Amino acid sequence: MEKPWLQSYETGVAHEIDLTRYQSISDVFSQSAQKFAAKPAFQNMGKVLTYAETAKLATDFASYLQNVLKLPRGERVAVMMPNLLQYPVALFGILQAGMIAVNTNPLYTPRELEHQLKDSGATTIVVLENFANTLELVLPRTHIKHVIIASVGEMFGTLKGALMNFVIRKIKKMVPEYRIGQTITFKEALKAGAAHTFTPVGLKREDTALLQYTGGTTGVAKGAVLSHGNIIANMLQAGEWIKNRLKEGEETVIGALPLYHIFALTVNLMIFANFGSKILLITNPRDMKTFLGELKKERVTIFVGVNTLFNGMANRPEFAEIDFSALKLTVGGGMATQKAVAEKWKRITGTPIVEAYGLTEASPGVCCNPLNIDAYSGSIGLPVPSTEVMLRNADGSPVPQGQPGELWVRGPQVMQGYWQRPEETAKAIDAEGWLETGDIAVMDEKGWLKLVDRKKDLIVVSGFNVYPNEIEEVIAHNDKVLEVACIGVPDAKTGEALKVFVVRKDPSLTEAELIAFCRQELTGYKVPKNIEFRNELPKSNVGKILRRELRQTAAS
């Protein structure tokens, strides 16, 4: 097929990548650890791990899983924590041991956590103690046999670590009480693993590395099966894109987005670790004062974020006081970057936001703007190397150039399928390996793509996918609700916000009461921001609630 986008590639960027360079993610990180051994790899709250130190600790953790827990190859191990030093150690250790990492949002409600643990079949979990109380509530109904408890301070040495944990537990009271039998601390697990000799596992590119949970294009929470080869492909594709602008072993990258999210996982952790960069892990980017304090201490060269983060920072007066003279690249993804935000960011930092596009099922990178742009383009750019895109009509036929159509993608980064859901996989990936994205786009004569709409009812809140079906199902369980419908509405802070329309069964139901109910069952970003009570909801002739009409009335 024709690839008009190739003519728009920057000089020196290859059209194809060589997948045979690495056999596994562990192979990639092992080579980085050797090449950049003494260089800082990860930094968090002032504590630094070099590449060699990270690799040693990851091997210790892999040894613990292999020799102490004696987990078989392919076992699923969940990781439930924010951006801390333990995260890369745990993740690289899990993969090195030939096991499958299940990234788990630490802010999940018990209902959400139970679904993911049961669906993945995870038997082991690494959880930060701050969230262990949630795990306790669902543990008996899961397959979890081994619980490894991490604490914020344990990687900071005996004295400083003990002081940090005391403040977090006793003064700030950030660790709710929990009772889980037969646990081991992350630090103890590393020590136990170090006492044994790790036996290398012969990993291949087709082996599964991650179960990355997503709503996909249908709204049912599913695990996208991402192989070592899928992630390696996206690393190499991005590496080819950025190689002429960045220098190996010399970059400092802000890691403010949660690593359990595929965008941050691949971009912050995988791609820049392969480049030998120093990655600054920001545990709580919502604590803007502390976050900006970190930025003032470091000469950051690469910033990866989403529109809401850029907007929140750019609107802080002290942000303009930071020295951005070293900043080479700002990458935006996860959600559309708003023009006003991009322009303000460029005005303050002197660097444009380079927008990228992807989805979990593509590991996630599909398209990116060339790095030589100097201003907001409003486009998602061009397909990355070794990637094909096609715009199709509803009947599957290609659309004429310049006309909107659904975006389909084919490339080595496309997932293997959905975990134990062959029917859903068949719906998402056709017989020729094309992945249906569910997004509507337009391609110009030079191959540049621009998103114009979503095929389905996906709502993106601060870069996170939210599906109306899940929200409606939760609210429908409230005894005072007769009918409910959920839509997305524009929001200056989060890109989109959730609005629900409710027909009450009990007239006493209030907005505050319903929102409180939602907070018990849904992660924060899934809680509706607006609730409108109505006497009836628009329906089709077969009784289906018409969200389309609700969106139209909400916009008018």
CA 330 vs. chain centroid, Å, equals 17
Q: For residue 214, is it within any domain?
A: no
Q: For residue 212, is it within any domain?
A: no
Which pair of structure tokens corresponds to residue 505?
Answer: 């069964």
CA distances to 135, 330, 373, 446 from 6, rounded to whole Å, are 48, 23, 16, 8
Looking at the fold, whether 272 and 410 belong to one and the same domain comes out as yes
pTM: 0.87
Looking at the fold, whether 194 and 54 belong to one and the same domain comes out as yes
In three-state form (DSSP H/G/I as H, E/B as E, the rest C), the secondary structure along 287-308 is CHHHHHHHHHHCCCCEEEECHH
pLDDT one-digit tens code per residue, 242-274? 999 999 999 999 999 999 999 999 999 999 999
For the ranges 83-87, 403-407, 539-543, the one whose mean pLDDT is highest: 83-87
Provide φ and ψ at 502, rounded to 5°: -130, 135
- Tell me the C-alpha distance between 263 and 257, whole Å: 8
Looking at the fold, whether 399 and 264 belong to one and the same domain comes out as yes
555 vs 453, more confident: 555
Q: For residue 210, is it within any domain?
A: no
Looking at the fold, whether 385 and 476 belong to one and the same domain comes out as no
Provide φ and ψ at 258, rounded to 5°: -65, 130
Percent of the chain exceeding pLDDT 70 equals 97
Residues 6+ apart with CB under 8 A from 365: 234, 237, 238, 266, 267, 356, 357, 358, 384, 413
pLDDT value, residue 476 = 87
Q: What value does the mean pLDDT of the chain take? A: 93
Of 50-64, 78-92, 373-387, 542-556, where does mean pLDDT reach its minimum?
542-556
Looking at the fold, whether 78 and 143 belong to one and the same domain comes out as yes
Q: For residue 209, is it within any domain?
A: no
pLDDT one-digit tens code per residue, 365-393? 999 999 999 988 889 999 999 999 999 99
Q: Assess whether pLDDT exceeds 60 at residue 48.
A: yes
Q: Smallest Cα–Cα separation from 144: which of 61, 96, 78?
A: 78
Q: For residue 220, is it within any domain?
A: no
DSSP 130: G
Q: Describe the chain by its helix, strand, coil percentages, rounded to 5.
A: 35, 25, 40
Q: Which residues of 101-140 are buried (b: 16+ CB within 10 A; e: fewer)?
A: bbbbbbbbbbebbbbbbebbbbbbbbbbbbbbebbbebbe
Looking at the fold, whether 452 and 464 belong to one and the same domain comes out as no
- Tell me the C-alpha distance between 201 and 199, whole Å: 6
* Boundary-marking domain end, from 403, 435, 456: 456
Q: Smallest Cα–Cα separation from 221: which of 213, 229, 210?
A: 213
- Tell me the C-alpha distance between 501 and 507, whole Å: 14
> Can you point out the beta strands (E) in 370-434?
382-383, 388-392, 405-410, 417-418
Looking at the fold, whether 521 and 397 belong to one and the same domain comes out as no
Average pLDDT over residues 9-17: 95
Q: Assess whether pLDDT exceeds 60 at residue 216.
A: no
pLDDT one-digit tens code per residue, 498-520? 999 999 999 999 999 999 999 99
Looking at the fold, whether 290 and 156 belong to one and the same domain comes out as no
Domain span at residue 156 reads: 24-35+48-203
Q: What is the CATH number of the domain that holds 388?
A: 3.40.50.12780
Residue pair 377/355 in contact (Cβ under 8 Å)? The answer is yes
Q: Are strands 252-255 and 302-305 parallel, antiparallel or unpaired?
A: parallel
DSSP 197: P
pLDDT band at 540 (very low <50, low <70, confident <90, very high): low
Provide φ and ψ at 91, rounded to 5°: -65, -50
Into how many domains does the chain fold?
3
